[in-house]
Structure 1
Amino acid sequence: MTPDDRVERALDYRFRDRELFARALTHRSAGRHHNERLEFLGDAVLGYAVADRLYRARPLESEDVLSILRASLVRKESLAEIGARLGLGEAIRLGAGERNSGGHERPSILANALEALIGAVHMDGGEAAAVALVDRLFGDRFETASAAAAKDAKTRLQEHLQAQNMPLPVYAVVAAAGAAHKRVFTVHCRVEAFELEVSASGSSRRAAEIAAAEQALKVLEADHG
């Protein structure tokens, strides 16, 4: 059985479009027909599927808690863990330099490949197939995930910077709109060490800060692995 066969068996999904499947497993270091566009699509499909599943599985949770749970489930570390379990490290196509430097074990590469596969399933089998795949991949985590135990994006961003002896991010509320019972806050986050600035919104200042930190982490992970 080939590594590709093992991945399909682990996914419990058989691709009709074999070229699409191969592209989902091709890192940009291996050539121009790589998986980044599928990763873009898969990221959106994953976010929707996880939000929908959490909404149905946790009817008593607030929006802020649901946002924290979603962020903890779709963060790169969680996706990389699932990707490793599926055997993506053996199947992914890498350039010689990337493979020799241990790219097949790099969390960002495994996580991105998993998102690309979700995007590929969406293209190959449709929305229902992709959502069903996400459900299989995460299993009972939708019911068992703990907001208290999950490190939110603000904490993870802070720890990431502290580990490199870099200044902490600076957050500022740049807008607050809506009625008192339905306020929407927009927060600006600046990471001085990387000259990075992002903004995000939420139903509370904390939720907006977490969303902004999540955006910053995505940029840093994409640019610096």
Structure 2
Amino acid sequence: MAKLSDLEQQIGYQFKNNSLLRQAVTHRSYGRPNNERLEFVGDGILDCVIALNLYEMYPDLPEGQLSKMRAALVNQDSLVEIAEQLDIGHYLYLGDGELKSGGRSRPSILADCLEALFAAIMLDSDFITAQKVIEKLFYYPLREQQNNQTKDYKTQLQEYLQSRRLSLPRYNIISMTGPEHDMLFRVECAIEELELRAWGEGKGKKQASQNAAQNLLVLLKENDFND
């Protein structure tokens, strides 16, 4: 089994109380104390830290969209990906049955252990320290989420309108110019209910529609349709 000091180096935090670290990587199949209660606390800490980051990153997004983004960031697949990057499976204390059945690579065990680690760090120090560790580990997932959010202006526009109980936009191709292999599309995005419309251009219908949606979002905010 790998040394727990190596895990401390991986996460960028050195424990004052090593028993908390040991408990965080101990599965219930190994006995007590195990990481079940720590996982419960860590789940809440992770939700809070990710929610705070999304709140600051997207000041104009409604609660519903923020909740969807948080759920995508803290689901089991995301946690397992980070746990595997840290090689958490090598540090786990497992009972014989779990060892024989592949417990070191079981997704639910890896995800729970990662959340337990977050709780152990907070209990060993404070919330701010745990927050810094989480933000370091989730730096790239958060940036990837930000990039995806920035690109998908059609989704942003739809969520914006739905949150205000307004009709959904209508997209129409206005023109297609240029040779077939390099055609330029011009698309209109209109909200009939508000008598607002904007246009966008792109090397395909999808790109042109995204640009039109982005321009209409700007127009909505300029005309004070935020409330």
Change (3 A) 1:102 1:2: closer
Q: Does the 8 A contact of 1:36 with 1:116 survive in 2? A: yes
Q: For residue 73 of structure 1, report the CA deviation from its aligned partner.
A: 0.4
User: Aligned AA for 2:25?
Assistant: L
- 1:16 partner SS: coil
- 1:84 partner SS: helix
CA–CA distance in structure 1, aligned partners of residues 98 and 75 of structure 2: 23
Q: For residue 67 of structure 1, report the CA deviation from its aligned partner.
A: 0.6
Q: Tell me the residue number matched to 1:23.
A: 23
Matched, 1:32 2:16: no
Q: For residue 181 of structure 1, report the CA deviation from its aligned partner.
A: 7.2
- 2:46 partner SS: helix
- 2:94 partner SS: coil
Deviates more, 1:23-32 or 1:138-147: 138-147
Q: For residue 63 of structure 1, report the CA deviation from its aligned partner.
A: 1.4
Q: For residue 62 of structure 1, report the CA deviation from its aligned partner.
A: 1.9
CA–CA distance in structure 1, aligned partners of residues 41 and 63 of structure 2: 24
Identity of aligned residues (%): 39
Matched ranges for 1:203-222 at <5 A: none
Q: Tell me the residue number matched to 1:173.
A: none
Matched, 1:108 2:108: yes
User: Aligned AA for 1:120?
Assistant: A
User: Aligned AA for 1:32?
Assistant: R
Q: Tell me the residue number matched to 1:98.
A: 98
- For each residue in 1:171-204, what CA deviation from the matched residue of structure 2 results, as whole angstroms up to 9, or x when unmatched? xxxxxxxxx979xxxxxxxxxxxxxxxxxxxxxx
Q: For residue 144 of structure 1, report the CA deviation from its aligned partner.
A: 2.5
- For each residue in 1:140-179, what CA deviation from the matched residue of structure 2 results, as whole angstroms up to 9, or x when unmatched? 3223213699xxxxxxxxxxxxxxxxxxxxxxxxxxxxxx
User: Aligned AA for 2:45?
Assistant: V
Q: Tell me the residue number matched to 2:56.
A: 56
Matched, 1:135 2:135: yes
User: Aligned AA for 2:140?
Assistant: D
User: Aligned AA for 1:89?
Assistant: G
- For each residue in 1:81-109, what CA deviation from the matched residue of structure 2 results, as whole angstroms up to 9, or x when unmatched? 10111111000100011011000000100
Q: Tell me the residue number matched to 2:186.
A: none
Q: Does the 8 A contact of 2:76 with 2:108 survive in 1? A: yes
CA–CA distance in structure 1, aligned partners of residues 63 and 139 of structure 2: 22
Q: Structure 2: any 5+ residue segments left out of the alignment?
A: 153-162, 166-227
Matched, 1:6 2:15: no
Question: Which has the larger Rg?
Answer: 2
TM-score with structure 1 setting the length? 0.64
Q: Does the 8 A contact of 1:3 with 1:87 survive in 2? A: no
Q: Does the 8 A contact of 1:46 with 1:134 survive in 2? A: yes
- For each residue in 1:36-83, what CA deviation from the matched residue of structure 2 results, as whole angstroms up to 9, or x when unmatched? 010000000000000001111122322111111100000011101101
Q: Structure 1: any 5+ residue segments left out of the alignment?
A: 150-179, 183-225
Matched ranges for 1:101-180 at <5 A: 101-145=101-145, 146=148
TM-score with structure 2 setting the length? 0.63
Q: Tell me the residue number matched to 1:158.
A: none
CA–CA distance in structure 2, aligned partners of residues 100 and 144 of structure 1: 36
Q: For residue 34 of structure 1, report the CA deviation from its aligned partner.
A: 0.4
Q: Does the 8 A contact of 1:27 with 1:93 survive in 2? A: yes
Q: For residue 35 of structure 1, report the CA deviation from its aligned partner.
A: 0.3
